[in-house]
Structure 1
Amino acid sequence: MTTEKLDINSALNWRYAAKRMTGAVVPQDVMGRILEAARLAPSGIGLQPYEILMITNAELKKQILPIAANQMQVVESSHLLVFAPWDDYTPERINGVFDYLNQQREKVSTTLDRQRQFALNYFSKFSSEENFHHAAKQAHIALGIAVAAAALERVDATPMEGFNAQELDRFLDLKSKGLRSSMLMAIGYRDEANDWNFKLPKVRKPMSELVTLYQ
Structure 2
Amino acid sequence: MNIIKQLKWRYATKKFDATKKLSTQKLDVLKQAFNLTATSFGLQTIKLIVVENKEIRKPLVAHAYNQKQVLDASHLLVICLQEDILDTDVIAYYDNIKNIRNTSETILKPYREDLVNMMQKMSVAERQQWSKNQAYIALGNLMTVCAIEGIDSCPMEGFLPNAIDNALQLNKMGLKSVLLLPVGYRDETDMFAGFKKVRKSINDAVIEI
Paired residues in the alignment total 208
| 1:54-83 deviation per Cα after TM superposition (whole angstroms, max 9, x unaligned) | 000010110111011111111111110000
Of the candidates 96, 101, 115, which is equivalent to residue 119 of structure 1?
Answer: 115
Kindly indicate whether the alpha-carbon contact (under 8 Å) linking 2:34 and 2:48 is maintained by their aligned counterparts in 1: no
> 2:136 matched to which residue of 1?
140
1:12 to 7, 10, 17: 7
Distance 1:69 1:123, change over 3 A: same
- SS of match in other structure, 2:182: strand
Q: Which moved more, 1:157-166 or 1:111-120?
A: 111-120
1:75 is aligned to: 71
Choose the corresponding residue for 1:52, options 48, 52, 57.
48
Which residue is equivalent to 1:36? 32
Q: Which one is further off, 77-86 or 93-102?
A: 93-102
* Residue in structure 2 matched with residue 154 of structure 1 by the alignment: 150
Aligned with residue 208 of structure 1, among 175, 196, 203 = 203
What's the CA shift for 1:213?
A: 3.4
- Is the CA contact (8 Å cut-off) linking 1:48 and 1:139 kept in structure 2? no
Correspondence for 1:198 among 193, 200, 203: 193
Q: How far 1:159 sits from its partner (Å)?
A: 1.0
CA displacement, residues 64-114 of structure 1 (integer Å, 9 cap, x when unaligned): 110111111111111100000112221011111111221222343544333
Percent of aligned pairs with the same amino acid = 32
Q: After the TM superposition, which residues 168-187 of structure 1 pair with which residues of structure 2 at under 5 Å, given as runs?
A: 168-187=164-183
Q: Which runs of 5+ in 1 are unaligned?
A: 1-5
Q: How far apart are the structure 2 equivalents of 1:42 and 1:84?
A: 15
Paired amino acid for 1:136: K
Checking the alignment, whether the CA contact within 8 Å between 1:45 and 1:115 is kept in structure 2 is no
Displacement of 1:145 in angstroms is: 1.0
Partners of 1:156 and 1:108 in 2: CA distance: 44
Structure 2 unaligned blocks of 5 or more: none
Aligned alpha-carbon RMSD (Å): 1.5
**For residue 207 of structure 1, what is the amino acid of its counterpart?**
I
> Is 119-128 or 182-191 further displaced after alignment?
119-128
Task: Tell me if structure 2 keeps the 8 A contact 1:87–1:129.
Answer: no
- Paired with 1:22 and 1:144, the residues of 2 have a C-alpha distance of 23
What is the one-letter code of the residue matched to 1:122? Answer: M
Counterpart CA distance in 1 for 2:106 and 2:2 is 40
TM-score by length of 1: 0.91
Question: What are the superposed Cα offsets for residues 35-69 of structure 1, whole Å, 9 maximum, x if unpaired?
Answer: 21221111100101111000000101101110111
Paired residue for 1:94?
90
Q: What's the offset of the Cα at 1:142? A: 1.6
Please, what TM-score do these two structures have when normalized by structure 2?
0.93
8 Å CA contact 1:50–1:86 kept in 2: the answer is yes
